[in-house]
Amino acid sequence: MEKIASFTIDHIKLQPGVYVSRKDTVGNSVITTFDLRMTSPNEEPVMNTAEMHTIEHLAATYLRNHPVYKDQTIYFGPMGCRTGFYLLLAGDLTSKDIVPLMVEMWEFIRDFEGDVPGASAKDCGNYLDMNLGMAKYLAKKYLDNVLYGIGEDRLNYPS
């Protein structure tokens, strides 16, 4: 069996960033999958499920209400390894194309106050597993250490 593309990335060299993971053609459309890597794999502790779950609720809500990207948003969700998230957008896009969107989204998460959207027994299958404080902390860390002033080395996978 062939290795899938995401397992061919050198996770020893991989640092937090915004990367194009893959592009798929569906009919006449291109779907771009982004790797939003928040922690350095195998170097830093992974994120806990509670904060990842909170980020997922906030980011999905933000993206699906965004005036430009709501109709391009296909999916936002966690990586199984808990080092980041996948974002799937309709369109043939580059990492640089979405940096302004990512800054806006992570600022929204960092600054969020109130009840997490969808965090109720009626709306979510595990609504008690949330940690807004840690989600906000991780959003701030990603903004400060990665997104603000992001360079090419954090926009393209290491070779």
Specify the pLDDT at position 103: 98
Q: What is the DSSP letter of 144?
A: I
Query: Does a structural domain hold residue 1?
Result: no
Specify the pLDDT at position 10: 87
For the chain, the domain total comes to 1
Query: Does a structural domain hold residue 114?
Result: yes
- Residue 25's CB is within 10 A of a number of other CB atoms, namely 9
Domain residues for 59?
11-143
Specify the pLDDT at position 6: 76
pTM score, whole prediction: 0.95
Query: Does a structural domain hold residue 159?
Result: no
Query: Does a structural domain hold residue 153?
Result: no
Q: What is the DSSP letter of 96?
A: H
Q: What is the DSSP letter of 76?
A: E
Query: Does a structural domain hold residue 98?
Result: yes
Specify the pLDDT at position 39: 96
Q: What is the pLDDT along the chain (159 residues), one digit of tens a residue?
A: 987 777 888 899 999 999 999 999 999 999 999 999 999 999 999 999 999 999 999 999 999 999 999 999 999 999 999 999 999 999 999 999 999 999 999 999 999 999 999 999 999 999 999 999 999 999 999 999 999 999 999 999 998
Q: What is the phi/psi pair of residue 152, to 5°?
A: -55, -35
Query: Does a structural domain hold residue 157?
Result: no
Query: Does a structural domain hold residue 152?
Result: no
Specify the pLDDT at position 84: 98
Which CATH number covers residue 75? 3.30.1360.80
Specify the pLDDT at position 4: 75
Query: Does a structural domain hold residue 150?
Result: no
Q: What is the phi/psi pair of residue 63, to 5°?
A: -65, -40
